[in-house]
């Protein structure tokens, strides 16, 4: 069976409630909030046999730190056009760093934002 290289991702947050509100607003999805001892997570919805990788927001005071300098996670646009997600970013407490732009005709479009926690995050869509 073919699989994507990434099996799971975690986005560090400093304020879980604020981060959940941000991602639910921008992506128009519902996250599942979980308390696991000192670890707090909010799982993104998973599409069975869908493309990409599942993942979560994560808070643990000593181990996870938000950053705009590290790994860049790309979200596939739930709406099919990242312009829809991009227009909700600032209202939700984030900032658009790179507005929607064409990567190439065969790959599609990308945009990069700063989320409510200070993480650099990207979006991808085919149109």
For the chain, list the domains and their CATH numbers. 9-125 (3.10.180.10)
Tell me how crowded residue 16 is: count the other CB atoms within 10 A of its CB: 18
Q: Answer yes or no: is pLDDT of 53 > 90.
A: no
Pairing mode of beta strands 120-125, 73-76 = parallel
Q: Which pLDDT does position 52 carry in this prediction?
A: 76
Question: pTM to 2 decimals?
Answer: 0.91
pLDDT for the residue numbered 48: 74
Instruction: Round to whole Å and give the CA distance between 48 and 20.
Output: 22
pLDDT at 1: 62
Please give the torsion angle defined by the CA atoms of residues 95, 97, 98 and 99, in that order, rounded to the nearest 10 degrees.
Answer: 20
Please report which confidence band the pLDDT of residue 4 belongs to, taking 50, 70 and 90 as the band edges. confident
Residue 63 clears pLDDT 90, i.e. is over it: yes
Q: How far is residue 26's CA from residue 87's CA, in Å, rounded to a whole number?
A: 8
pLDDT computed for residue 81 by the predictor: 96
pLDDT, mean of residues 56-63: 95
Q: Which pLDDT value is given to residue 5?
A: 75
Mean pLDDT within 24-51 = 91
Over residues 62-76, mean pLDDT = 93
């Amino acid at each position: 069976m073919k699989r994507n290289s990434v099996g799971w991702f975690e986005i560090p947050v400093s304020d879980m409630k604020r981060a959940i509100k941000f991602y639910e607003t921008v992506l128009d999805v519902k996250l599942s909030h979980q308390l696991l001892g000192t670890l707090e997570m909010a799982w993104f919805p998973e599409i069975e046999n869908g493309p990409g990788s599942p993942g979560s927001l994560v808070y643990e005071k000593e181990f996870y730190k938000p950053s705009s300098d590290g790994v860049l996670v790309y979200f596939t646009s739930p709406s099919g056009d990242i312009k829809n997600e991009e227009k909700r970013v600032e209202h939700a407490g984030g900032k658009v760093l790179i507005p929607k732009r064409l990567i190439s005709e065969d790959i599609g479009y990308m945009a990069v934002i700063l989320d409510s926690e200070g993480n650099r995050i990207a979006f991808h869509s085919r149109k």
